[in-house]
């Protein structure tokens, strides 16, 4: 049994096992040595504070960016030279599969939820999200799902049927091992968490806004979160069902997507893309929101075309549900169907174009400040424009017969995913970093990171457009010298490593700034416009000592103008005790049971899955039966903490 | 910016305010959850509709379904929806005993529905019609089973609420829980009507 349990025989994997073992031991040793277990439990693991949950999400996302990035470098190394014996075919399949899954589901998604958590309640003048306990549960479900997926590398074997796991490859007939089970349960568990987060943020934005904050006064990031969360609510149930059906096929011998028994693999392809296409908009919409906020803050101007921005966000989120078929134009749906989906896909370019022009008009004649968040925003615009144009090229159904599954496509989607999503979230991270931790990240090291990422990006992916047109298709690990692809592949691999350097510089930037930062005292690090900049950094646990009364868009900016103009300030309202949720260990414990349940099902071990399931039910009941879930922060304590923040500011 | 005037406008005592909003906020969240559940069922229905002709030489819907049992199931579930409505009525009257009584009846009806459904499934399996027989049966068991699973969850949930009502009486919190479970229960009723029409009558 252990022969199939632990993966052995490959030096790469042995290396991974040893390093995972060492890192875990080191972590346990450090926490024990500094006697931090209790602190870890009470301050972080059981926390229901959205700001801390946000930080944990972002930390996890950076770890996963590392894992996914190492996968990417392995892929590119293999492709650098023809007939390289670095990764053999099976291993290569596993690596591009885990790379795709990890980057989208375990890097982009948590990064996004992290930023939601950090910024949304503060932007709308709320003390919390709508369901803080559920928020913590969402995080732990994501985390456990990601861990379950990641251990497949050393235990049992990774999935290798591609990031969307088309049947029959992902069926028992195509993937008889257990790797595909890890895929199903890793995604299923974290997906439930994502769905819950979607609901949470829709409710937060619709119901928790400060008095006077009408919908049309919300900051653009909050709008984009609303659009993205609504899309999550409509897309993720489809994923849940699809994964469940694939599981039934594999576990109980059902015939949803099998080639025999009347199953229909094409239905899987439809279902997975009905989730998958909206999914890419789920991750890009918040990036649009981040850029909008940053552009107006750093150009010190009101955002150009606010209403059209809102309209663009909402129409993109709706249209994203009507384009899924463009992912399989070549599968014989017929000309009419292809034409319909080609047109709906191209229509999305219109609202997207509107947004780009609005950003440019906002920047026009602005007094632009080129700090870190703005740099990444500037880099994003041309990158996204090129990526969008190649996307429209792919949307031309007849032309797609040429581009389909070629490196042209790989280059396109990395351009929008890296240039749009990753750059966007980096911009957001740099922008809200002072709000999270009370200091800015070092500019100088950041510029190095910025240039490595940007140059590396173009060096890596521009050659891939050409390679695609030269006929190089995706997902193979070998090519012949006489095809003439060698030079461009070498260049591309060099570019990938330059991006890797960019990542290392970012880590250095964070470590360096942790040691050598200057405290950011005003709370308003960038001379901002929305409410999160009106309170101290890092924000106190209750966010706002007194709930703000909002009377305009860019409320905090207007307030600063009013103060400068000497408009008399109303006397402060008396403080009141603040109602807060209590910490809870249940989300973490419940997620552990989810892990046991999922791991048991991965191995078909009912003796393990059943106790896991019972544990899940018991923890649900335990929560339902605990009535003592909140408390009040007394006025004295609020006053003390506000005074301390004021003193820090002086 | 100025500050929001103290939200004491609720009128009642301090411990209570904020709490009140919390409960209605949770009901709102439950509505959002129901939307996602509609989509979940929608996807399962769609697969059933696509696959229900793919019988792979196995039994067809016509040969398989026994209408009397299904009519009973329908009747029992509709009645349970009615009794859960009566429970809510008693709750608004402040009658704890009546509330608990009707909830117990609701759960009992739910459990009888499940018994009938499980018997039906077992009979089918004995006739060789299992989830692995054909794509039609895979989608049939998954669709009807998903509904059954929801009824199971609902039954346990209501039992939990009954215990809490017995312990704490009718409070804001238990009221909200009763409201949510009864919403859920009515929702399952509506889904069943679709199951009845699309699976049993249409088949
Ligand atoms: C950091 C630099 C990155 C590099 C150098 C890189 C490189 C690659 C390469 C070489 C492939 C495989 C092509 C093939 O299958 O032959 C690939 C696939 C893929 N990448 Fe990346 N990638 C990077 C970042 C990202 C990011 C940030 C995302 C998403 C947010 C992403 C998503 C994907 C997906 C979805 C696939 C498809 C996997 C599949 O074919 O199943 N990548 N990447
Ligand atoms: Cu698409």
- Residue-wise pLDDT for A147-157, tens only, equals 999 999 888 88
Q: State the ligand closest to the CA atom of A272.
A: 2
Same-domain status, A26 and A86: no
**Contact B6/A202, CB-based, under 8 Å?**
no
**Distance, CA A110 to ligand 1 centroid (Å)?**
18
Confidence class of residue A6 from pLDDT cuts 50, 70 and 90?
A: confident
Contacts of B145 in chain A (CB under 8 A): none
- Min Cα distance B70 → chain A (Å) is 24
CB contact set of A519 (below 8 Å; sequence gap of 6+):
A438, A439, A648
**Contact A573/B6, CB-based, under 8 Å?**
yes
Same-domain status, A24 and A107: no
Same-domain status, A75 and A173: yes
Confidence class of residue B17 from pLDDT cuts 50, 70 and 90?
A: very low
Confidence (pTM): 0.95
List pocket residues of ligand 1, CB cut-off 6 Å. Answer: A 69, 72, 75-76, 96-97, 99-100, 103-104, 108, 162-163, 410, 414, 417-418, 421-422, 460, 474-475, 496, 499
Record: fold of B24-201:
1.20.120
Q: What confidence score (pLDDT) does residue A25 get?
A: 86
Q: What token pair was written down for A314?
A: 């909402």
Q: pLDDT tens digit string along A577-618?
A: 999 999 999 999 999 999 999 999 999 999 999 999 999 999
Same-domain status, A25 and A142: no
Spatial distance between the Cα atoms of B165 and B97, rounded to a whole number of angstroms: 10
- Across the interface, of A241, A252, A559, the residue whose CB is closest to B1 is A559
User: Which of A62, A72, A98 most suits a substitution to test ligand 1, by most atoms within 8 Å of the C-beta?
Assistant: A72
Whether residue A164 contacts residue A276, with contact meaning beta carbons closer than 8 Å, is answered with yes
Whether residue A424 contacts residue A380, with contact meaning beta carbons closer than 8 Å, is answered with yes
Same-domain status, A36 and A118: no
**Distance, CA A114 to ligand 1 centroid (Å)?**
22
Q: What confidence score (pLDDT) does residue A650 get?
A: 58
Whether residue A505 contacts residue A447, with contact meaning beta carbons closer than 8 Å, is answered with no
Contacts of A576 in chain B (CB under 8 A): 6
- In this model, does residue A568 exceed pLDDT 80? yes
Q: Could you tell me which chain A residue has the CA closest to the CA of B40?
A: A237
Interfacial B residues in 47-76 facing A (CB < 8 Å): 47, 50-51, 54-56
- Across the interface, of B6, B28, B135, the residue whose CB is closest to A256 is B135
Contacts of B42 in chain A (CB under 8 A): 237
Paired with A578 in beta bridges are A633
Spatial distance between the Cα atoms of B120 and B150, rounded to a whole number of angstroms: 17
Atom 15 in ligand 1: residue holding the nearest Cα = A475
Q: Could you tell me which chain A residue has the CA closest to the CA of B28?
A: A203
Paired with A633 in beta bridges are A578
Same-domain status, A644 and A519: yes
**Contact B3/A550, CB-based, under 8 Å?**
no
Contacts of A210 in chain B (CB under 8 A): 4
Same-domain status, A37 and A81: no
Same-domain status, A28 and A82: no
ipTM of the complex: 0.94
Q: What confidence score (pLDDT) does residue A88 get?
A: 87
Pairs across A and B, CB distance < 8 A = 148
Q: What is the average per-residue pLDDT within A454-458?
A: 97
**Contact A549/B1, CB-based, under 8 Å?**
yes
Instruction: Kindly state whether residue A356 falls inside one of the protein's structural domains.
Output: yes
Same-domain status, A34 and A134: no
Atom 12 in ligand 1: residue holding the nearest Cα = A96
Q: What token pair was written down for A25?
A: 């031991």
Whether residue A102 contacts residue A68, with contact meaning beta carbons closer than 8 Å, is answered with yes
Instruction: Kindly state whether residue A617 falls inside one of the protein's structural domains.
Output: no
Instruction: Kindly state whether residue A40 falls inside one of the protein's structural domains.
Output: yes
Q: Which atom of ligand 1 is nearest to the CA of A496?
A: 5
User: Which of A69, A78, A103 most suits a substitution to test ligand 1, by most atoms within 8 Å of the C-beta?
Assistant: A103
Atom 43 in ligand 1: residue holding the nearest Cα = A72
Q: What is the average per-residue pLDDT within B6-30?
A: 62
Same-domain status, A274 and A389: yes
Whether residue A129 contacts residue A202, with contact meaning beta carbons closer than 8 Å, is answered with no
Q: Tell me, what CATH number does A413's domain have?
A: 1.20.210.10
Q: What confidence score (pLDDT) does residue A2 get?
A: 53
Confidence class of residue A629 from pLDDT cuts 50, 70 and 90?
A: confident
- Min Cα distance B112 → chain A (Å) is 22
Spatial distance between the Cα atoms of A556 and A522, rounded to a whole number of angstroms: 13
Query: B94 in contact with A at a CB cutoff of 8 Å?
Result: no
**Contact B135/A263, CB-based, under 8 Å?**
yes
Q: What token pair was written down for A95?
A: 């690596």
Cα-atom radius of gyration of chain A, to the nearest Å?
25
Q: What confidence score (pLDDT) does residue A3 get?
A: 58
Spatial distance between the Cα atoms of A150 and A163, rounded to a whole number of angstroms: 14
Instruction: Kindly state whether residue A265 falls inside one of the protein's structural domains.
Output: yes
- In this model, does residue B10 exceed pLDDT 90? no
Q: What is the average per-residue pLDDT within A106-128?
A: 97
Atom 17 in ligand 1: residue holding the nearest Cα = A96
Q: What token pair was written down for B32?
A: 């959002």
Give φ, ψ of A298 to 5 degrees.
-85, -15
Give φ, ψ of A334 to 5 degrees.
100, 160
Q: What token pair was written down for A341?
A: 């989906």
Q: What token pair was written down for A172?
A: 């028992």
Instruction: Kindly state whether residue A601 falls inside one of the protein's structural domains.
Output: no
Same-domain status, A133 and A271: yes
How many domains, in total, are found in chain A? Answer: 2
Q: pLDDT tens digit string along B72-84?
A: 999 999 999 999 9
Q: What is the average per-residue pLDDT within B164-182?
A: 94
């095809």: which residue's tokens?
Answer: A483
Helix (H, G, I), strand (E, B) or coil at A374: helix
Query: B128 in contact with A at a CB cutoff of 8 Å?
Result: no
Confidence class of residue B202 from pLDDT cuts 50, 70 and 90?
A: confident
Q: How high is the mean pLDDT of chain A?
A: 94
> Could you give the C-alpha distances from A331 to A208, A326, A327, B112, in angstroms and in order?
46, 10, 9, 47
Q: Quick one: how far is CA A84 from the chain centroid?
A: 33
User: Which of A279, A410, A424, A498 most suits a substitution to test ligand 1, by most atoms within 8 Å of the C-beta?
Assistant: A410
- Min Cα distance A143 → chain B (Å) is 22
Q: Could you tell me which chain B residue has the CA closest to the CA of A561?
A: B1
**Distance, CA A410 to ligand 2 centroid (Å)?**
13
Confidence class of residue B9 from pLDDT cuts 50, 70 and 90?
A: very low
> Could you give the C-alpha distances from B63 to A50, A523, A618, B47, in angstroms and in order?
55, 72, 41, 21
Q: What token pair was written down for B138?
A: 């895979």
Domain hosting residue A578, numbered range: 45-563+574-584+629-649
Q: pLDDT tens digit string along A167-203?
A: 999 999 999 999 999 999 999 999 999 999 999 999 9
Q: pLDDT tens digit string along A241-260?
A: 999 999 999 999 999 999 99
**Contact B39/A548, CB-based, under 8 Å?**
no
Spatial distance between the Cα atoms of A190 and A110, rounded to a whole number of angstroms: 10
Q: What confidence score (pLDDT) does residue A12 get?
A: 76
- In this model, does residue A440 exceed pLDDT 60? yes
Residue A632: its H or E element: strand A630-633
Spatial distance between the Cα atoms of A463 and A442, rounded to a whole number of angstroms: 32
Q: What is the average per-residue pLDDT within A452-465?
A: 97
- Across the interface, of B33, B47, B56, the residue whose CB is closest to A199 is B33
Q: pLDDT tens digit string along B97-156?
A: 999 999 999 999 999 999 999 999 999 999 999 999 999 999 999 999 999 999 999 999
Contacts of B2 in chain A (CB under 8 A): 548-549, 551, 569-570
Instruction: Kindly state whether residue A510 falls inside one of the protein's structural domains.
Output: yes
Q: What confidence score (pLDDT) does residue A278 get?
A: 97
Same-domain status, A413 and A312: yes
Whether residue A453 contacts residue A316, with contact meaning beta carbons closer than 8 Å, is answered with no
Atom 36 in ligand 1: residue holding the nearest Cα = A100
Instruction: Kindly state whether residue A171 falls inside one of the protein's structural domains.
Output: yes
**Contact A261/B56, CB-based, under 8 Å?**
yes
Q: pLDDT tens digit string along A34-81?
A: 888 999 999 999 999 999 999 999 999 999 999 999 999 999 999 999
């Amino acid at each position: 049994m252990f022969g199939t349990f632990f993966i052995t025989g490959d030096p790469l994997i042995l290396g991974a096992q040893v390093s995972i073992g060492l890192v875990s031991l080191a972590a346990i040793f450090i926490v024990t040595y500094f006697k931090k277990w209790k602190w870890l439990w009470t301050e972080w693991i059981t926390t229901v504070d959205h700001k801390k949950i946000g930080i944990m999400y972002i930390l996890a996302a950076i770890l996963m960016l590392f894992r996914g990035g190492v996968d990417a470098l392995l892929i590119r190394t293999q492709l650098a030279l023809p007939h390289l014996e670095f990764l053999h075919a099976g291993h290569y399949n596993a690596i591009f599969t885990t790379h795709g899954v990890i980057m989208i589901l375990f890097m982009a998604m948590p990064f996004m939820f992290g930023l939601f958590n950090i910024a949304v309640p503060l932007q709308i003048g709320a003390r919390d999200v709508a369901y803080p306990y559920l928020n913590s549960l969402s995080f732990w479900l994501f985390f456990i799902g990601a861990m379950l997926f990641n251990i497949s590398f050393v235990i049992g074997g990774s999935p290798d049927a591609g990031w969307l796991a088309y049947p029959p490859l992902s069926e028992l007939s195509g993937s008889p091992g257990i790797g595909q089970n890890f895929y199903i349960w890793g995604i299923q568990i974290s997906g439930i968490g994502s769905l819950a987060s979607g609901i949470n943020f829709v409710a937060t934005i619709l119901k928790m806004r400060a008095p006077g904050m009408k919908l049309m006064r919300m900051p653009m990031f909050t709008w984009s979160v609303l659009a993205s969360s609504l899309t999550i609510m409509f897309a993720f149930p489809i994923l849940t069902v699809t994964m469940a059906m694939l599981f039934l096929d594999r576990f109980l011998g059902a015939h949803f997507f099998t080639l025999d028994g009347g199953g229909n693999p094409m239905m899987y392809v439809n279902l997975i893309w009905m989730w998958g296409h909206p999914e890419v908009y789920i991750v890009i919409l918040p990036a649009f929101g981040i850029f909008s906020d940053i552009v107006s803050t750093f150009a010190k101007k009101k955002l150009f075309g606010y209403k059209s921005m809102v309209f663009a966000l909402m129409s993109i989120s709706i249209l994203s549900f009507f384009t899924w078929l463009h992912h399989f134009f070549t599968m014989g749906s017929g000309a009419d169907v292809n034409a319909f989906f080609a047109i709906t896909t191209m229509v999305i370019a219109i609202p997207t174009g509107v947004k780009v022009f609005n950003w440019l008009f906002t920047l026009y004649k602005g007094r632009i400040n080129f700090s870190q968040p703005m740099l990444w925003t500037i880099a994003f615009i041309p990158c996204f424009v090129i990526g969008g144009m190649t996307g429209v090229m792919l949307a031309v159904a007849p032309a797609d017969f040429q581009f389909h599954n070629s490196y042209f496509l790989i280059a396109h989607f990395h351009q929008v995913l890296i240039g749009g999503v990753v750059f966007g979230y980096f911009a957001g991270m740099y922008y809200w970093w002072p709000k999270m931790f009370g200091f800015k990240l070092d500019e100088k090291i950041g510029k190095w990171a910025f240039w490595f990422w940007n140059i590396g990006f173009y060096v890596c992916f521009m050659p891939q457009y050409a390679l695609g047109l030269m006929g190089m298709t995706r997902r193979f690990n070998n090519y012949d010298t006489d095809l003439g692809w060698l030079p461009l592949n070498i260049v591309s691999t060099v570019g990938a490593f330059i991006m890797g350097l960019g990542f290392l510089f970012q880590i250095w930037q964070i470590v360096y700034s942790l040691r050598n930062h200057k405290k950011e005292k005003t709370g308003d690090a960038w001379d901002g416009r929305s409410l999160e900049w009106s309170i101290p950094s890092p924000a106190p646990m209750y966010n706002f000592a007194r709930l703000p009364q909002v009377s305009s868009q860019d409320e905090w900016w207007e307030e600063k103008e009013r103060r400068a103009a000497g408009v008399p300030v109303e006397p402060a309202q008396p403080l009141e005790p603040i109602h807060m949720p209590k910490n809870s260990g249940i989300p973490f414990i419940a997620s552990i049971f989810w892990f046991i349940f999922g791991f048991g099902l991965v191995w078909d071990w009912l003796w393990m899955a059943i106790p896991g399931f019972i544990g899940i039910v018991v923890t649900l009941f335990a929560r339902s039966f605990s009535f003592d879930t909140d408390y009040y922060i007394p006025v004295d304590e609020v006053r003390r903490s506000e005074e301390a923040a004021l003193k820090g500011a002086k | 910016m100025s500050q929001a005037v103290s939200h004491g406008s609720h009128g009642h005592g301090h411990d209570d305010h904020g709490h009140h909003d919390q409960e209605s906020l949770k009901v709102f969240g439950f509505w959002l959850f129901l939307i996602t559940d509609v989509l979940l069922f929608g996807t399962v229905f769609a697969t059933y509709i696509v696959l229900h002709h793919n019988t792979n030489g196995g039994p067809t819907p016509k040969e398989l379904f026994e209408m009397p049992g299904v009519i009973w199931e329908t009747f029992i579930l509709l009645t349970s929806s009615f009794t859960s409505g009566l429970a809510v009525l008693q709750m608004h009257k402040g009658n704890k005993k009546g509330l608990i009584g009707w909830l117990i009846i609701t759960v009992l009806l739910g459990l009888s529905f499940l018994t009938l459904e499980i018997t039906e499934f077992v009979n089918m399996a004995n006739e060789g019609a299992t989830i692995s027989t054909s794509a039609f049966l895979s989608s049939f068991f998954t669709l009807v089973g998903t509904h059954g699973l929801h009824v199971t969850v609902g039954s346990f949930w209501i039992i939990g609420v009954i215990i809490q009502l017995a312990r704490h009486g009718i409070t804001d919190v238990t009221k909200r829980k009763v409201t949510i479970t009864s919403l859920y229960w009515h929702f399952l009723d509506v889904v069943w009507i679709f199951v009845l029409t699309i699976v049993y009558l249409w088949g």
